[in-house]
Amino acid sequence: MKKHALITTALLLFASMTFGAGFQVNVQGLRQLAMGGTGTGWMWDASCIFYNPGGLARLKNIQAYGSVHFLMVNTQYVQTPTGGYSARSKPGLYTPFNVYVGGRLKQDGKLALGLGVYTPFGSGLKWDDNWEGRYVVQSISMNAIFFQPTVSYKISDAISLGGGFIYAIGNIKLKQAVPLQDANGNDGYGELKGHADGVGVNVGLHIQPSPAFQVGISYRSQVNMKVKNGDANFVVPAAASSSFPNTSFKAELPLPQVLSVGVGVRVMPRLVLTAEANWVGWKAYDTLFFDYETNTSTLTDTKAPRNYKNTLALRLGANLKASDRVALMAGLAYDPSPVADGYVSPDLPDADRWLVTGGFSVKATNKLTIIGAIEYGASKKRDAEYIPANFNGKYQTKAIIPSIGLSYDFR
């Protein structure tokens, strides 16, 4: 009998993870969120540190702004072609949060400073440990928190610009079953956990030709989130344990660059309409690698192809000042998927999605505003394949995100 090599090489160990577009959560400032996610054109509050740092110098005073989001995602899978199997993801709650502090240093000055701490990526998906796709993914989660000190300068009454340096930290965690069964028939599994960090910039230009018309352009660079020393742990039958040593790993997850152009028009004294386009450079994100410190014939470094395409998301929003204290917001967005047919993985199956948003704000005092927003997103039903794992099915994801926040003006 061949003494060695009794363990299969036939695993796609973590090679099938995509860390797809679904991890991007466009939940930042709540008024903007409630207006279909438009925030690049019209400046409202300190969350422009995220949407368009060029607009920070338009803030008359220092503002502190905080929000928290309750992201609930549900995904359903139905096997194709015959639908003999279906599964629903386990309910999960993710809570991206954002804090922005900033504004003009002097009320009639030109220079503004600020700091944003926000969560542009933060989601996950958990399937039952014994579901049909367990050798592709059992659970996955990822979050990234960006720290962005920001400077903005008002060149003239019409034009301001700004920029910030991004330092990002994050966590990734994923779990996959290993097709080696113990004497009781239980699968093994592998778990990867790691801290990541990376750097980038966020710059913007804001133009206000008239009080009723605003235009903005912003650019957020790609941020390469590097995992330098993650933990790879394996639970497999003892007979196979030497093939799956617990070790450390390196990985790199590029978060894509985003170029945004937005406009806002005050069409009536109480009504502002906004429109925005976001070009997202997903294409750079074409492979994901895992580099293990200790390699064996079964634990080899992996490089997974994803073949992403760049996308253009379109957003529309409205803000209606209902009274001196209360405003109502509504919006609509279309966010196409960067994932090409044939590469839709169950780790966070991605599809074109429609978002409907709404919200309200209440000016509780002269300084304090309370904002609530809700986003509802439903992906198109996607008949999809994941070619590297030969895993096929139909997916739909629905997400609902209620959010709450406060802003406080120091004046």
Partner 1 sequence: MKKILFVLGLASLAACKPNLKVDPPNANGVDFSSYVAVGNSLTAGYSDGTLYRSGQINSYPNILADQMRIFGALEFKQPLMPGEYGFPKAKLVLGYAQSPCDTSPSLSPVPFSGLIDTAGSATNIADQGPFNNFGIPGIRAIDFLIPGYALAAAASGFPYAARMFNNPTVRPLDELKLKNPTFFTLWLGNNDVLGYALAGGEENPSFVLDTRNISNTNSFINGYDSVLSVLTRTGAKGVLLNIPDVTSIPFFHTIPANGLPLDTNSAALLNSVYASHPSIRFHVGANYFVVEDPAAPGGRRQLKPNELVLLSAPQDSIKCYRWGSAVPLPKKYVLDSTELSRIKEATTAFNNHIASMSVSMNLPLVDANAFLRQAITGITFNGVTYNTEFVTGGTFSLDGVHLTPRGNAIVANEIIKAINAYYKSTIPMIDIHKYGGIRFPM
Interacting residues with partner 1 (CB under 8 A): 1-3, 5-12, 16, 70, 72-76, 78-79, 81-86, 88, 91, 132-136, 176, 179-185, 236-240, 372, 374, 376, 378, 381, 388-391, 394-400, 402, 404
Task: Give whichever of 65 and 219 is closer to partner 1, judged by the CB atom.
Answer: 65
Task: Give whichever of 201 and 387 is closer to partner 1, judged by the CB atom.
Answer: 387
* DSSP single-letter state for residue 283: G
Task: Give whichever of 106 and 238 is closer to partner 1, judged by the CB atom.
Answer: 238
Q: How far is the CB of 397 from partner 1 (least distance, A)?
A: 6
Task: Give whichever of 303 and 411 is closer to partner 1, judged by the CB atom.
Answer: 303
350 dihedral zone (left: phi>0; alpha: psi -120 to 50; beta):
beta
Return the exposure string of 129-159: e unless at least 16 CB atoms fall within 10 Å of the residue's CB, then b.
eebbbbbbbbbbbbbbbbebebbbbbeeeee
Q: Are 319 and 272 in contact (CB under 8 A)?
A: yes
> Could you give the angle at the alpha carbon of 220 between the alpha carbons of 219 and 226, nearest 5°?
155
Phi, psi of 202 (to 5 degrees): -135, 115
Q: How far is the CB of 46 from partner 1 (least distance, A)?
A: 22
Q: How far is the CB of 278 from partner 1 (least distance, A)?
A: 24
Task: Give whichever of 217 and 240 is closer to partner 1, judged by the CB atom.
Answer: 240
Q: Which residues pair with 217 in a beta bridge?
A: 205, 261
Task: Give whichever of 86 and 287 is closer to partner 1, judged by the CB atom.
Answer: 86
Q: Which residues pair with 257 in a beta bridge?
A: none
Q: How far is the CB of 230 from partner 1 (least distance, A)?
A: 21
313 dihedral zone (left: phi>0; alpha: psi -120 to 50; beta):
beta
**Residue 331 tokens, joined:** 């919006």
Between CA 386 and CA 93 the distance in angstroms is 26
Q: How far is the CB of 360 from partner 1 (least distance, A)?
A: 11
Q: How far is the CB of 131 from partner 1 (least distance, A)?
A: 9
Cα 147 to the center of its chain, rounded Å: 15
**Residue 143 tokens, joined:** 């979050």
Task: Give whichever of 257 and 397 is closer to partner 1, judged by the CB atom.
Answer: 397
Q: Which residues pair with 212 in a beta bridge?
A: none
Q: How far is the CB of 351 from partner 1 (least distance, A)?
A: 11
Q: How far is the CB of 370 from partner 1 (least distance, A)?
A: 9
Task: Give whichever of 107 and 186 is closer to partner 1, judged by the CB atom.
Answer: 186
403 dihedral zone (left: phi>0; alpha: psi -120 to 50; beta):
beta
Task: Give whichever of 181 and 323 is closer to partner 1, judged by the CB atom.
Answer: 181
Between CA 344 and CA 396 the distance in angstroms is 12
Task: Give whichever of 192 and 272 is closer to partner 1, judged by the CB atom.
Answer: 192
Identify which of 281, 361, 353 has the alpha carbon closest to the alpha carbon of residue 44: 361
Between CA 408 and CA 132 the distance in angstroms is 49
Between CA 105 and CA 14 the distance in angstroms is 49
Q: How far is the CB of 73 from partner 1 (least distance, A)?
A: 8
Identify which of 25, 52, 99 has the alpha carbon closest to the alpha carbon of residue 255: 25
Q: How far is the CB of 55 from partner 1 (least distance, A)?
A: 29
